[in-house]
Amino acid sequence: MSGDRRVAYAEYGAPDGEPVILLHGTPGSRLLGALFDGDARRRGVRLLVPDRPGYGRSSPWPDRTLADAGTTVGAVLDDAGVRRAGVVGFSGGGPHALALAATRRDLVDGVDVVAGAVPPSLRSTRPLAVRLAETLAATTPRLLAGAARGGGRVAKRAPASFVVSQYTTPEGRAAVSDRVAELARREFVEAFAHTARGFVTETRLLAQEWTVDPADVDRRVRLWHGADDANVPVADARRLADRLPDGRLTVVDGADHLGALLRQVPELLGRYGSAAEG
């Protein structure tokens, strides 16, 4: 990338498969793809998962906006030798997927948003931890960065359930296998392995009205949202779907925030792989 910035990414699945970009949540990292390595391989998908700026091994970019999503993804596709890819955005990666579709349509084959965050004007409620983080990002960002790095250190030593509990209901938590919980823990720890500046930047970005209006996404967007999501209520997803010119919402019964990701991404990878075969 320009300006001596570096973007890191990981590859999973089939090396010669249909390319799909998976955009992690806020916070998150490229290790999210480890959850779906086997699914991607079986479905003939080459899964590319970047660390967004300031997460994992990617350089910070504190003045970026949502409209810059194409710069990061474009660099990954160039390095991977890929012209276009399907895009799946999870949670805080959802706004970046929409921004990419609005500003760099030439890079995008399809857009899916799973448990995606919504613009502030469409929110009905926010978890207390999110409200606190947004306040700190706007007023004392260094305090938020220190707290986030501390959370990463705690997660490194704590049981994997420490991380999983942030994205699940008690019922959903019981359904998460030890393997999945451990992979989720590693992904969370990696997000803060070098800096928390990515989390601070994105928390501030997503708390403001987006620089890319969902109404400007002039292609079909498929939204998948858990009926039991406590992080982003399904009512918010319905409002986002209405705001999009061609938004198609599927409510996943019995799924919370993490549950929607675990249930829908394998299915989406199958769709992208099947489309390539057809």
Q: What is the pLDDT of residues 143-173, one digit of tens each?
A: 999 999 999 999 999 999 999 999 999 999 9
Identify the pLDDT of residue 1: 62
121 has a pLDDT exceeding 90:
yes
**3-class secondary structure for the chain?**
CHHHCCCCEEEEECCCCEEEEEECCCCCCHHHHHHHHHHHHHCCEEEEEECCCCCCCCCCCCCCCHHHHHHHHHHHHHHHCCCCEEEEEECCHHHHHHHHHHHCHHHEEEEEEECCCCCHHHCCCCCHHHHHHHHHHHHCHHHHHHHHHHHHHHHHHCCCHHHHCCCCCHHHHHCCCHHHHHHHHHHHHHHCCCCCHHHHHHHHHHHCCCCCCHHHCCCCEEEEEECCCCCCCHHHHHHHHHHCCCEEEEEECCCCHHHHHHHHHHHHHHHHHHHHHC
Write out the CATH class of domain 2-277.
Answer: alpha beta
278 has a pLDDT exceeding 80:
no
Q: What is the pTM of this model?
A: 0.96
Identify the pLDDT of residue 47: 99
Q: Which of 9-13, 171-175, 235-239, 245-249 has the lowest mean pLDDT?
A: 171-175
Mean predicted confidence (pLDDT) in 65-70? 96
Identify the pLDDT of residue 274: 76
How confident is the model over 261-272, as pLDDT tens digits?
Answer: 999 999 999 999
How does residue 275 score in pLDDT terms, banded at 50, 70 and 90? low
How confident is the model over 36-64, as pLDDT tens digits?
Answer: 999 999 999 999 999 999 999 999 999 99
**Regarding beta strands 85-90 and 18-23, do their DSSP bridges make them parallel or antiparallel, or are they unpaired?**
parallel
How confident is the model over 186-208, as pLDDT tens digits?
Answer: 999 999 999 999 999 999 999 99
3 has a pLDDT exceeding 70:
no
Identify the pLDDT of residue 4: 81
72 has a pLDDT exceeding 60:
yes
Mean predicted confidence (pLDDT) in 74-88? 98
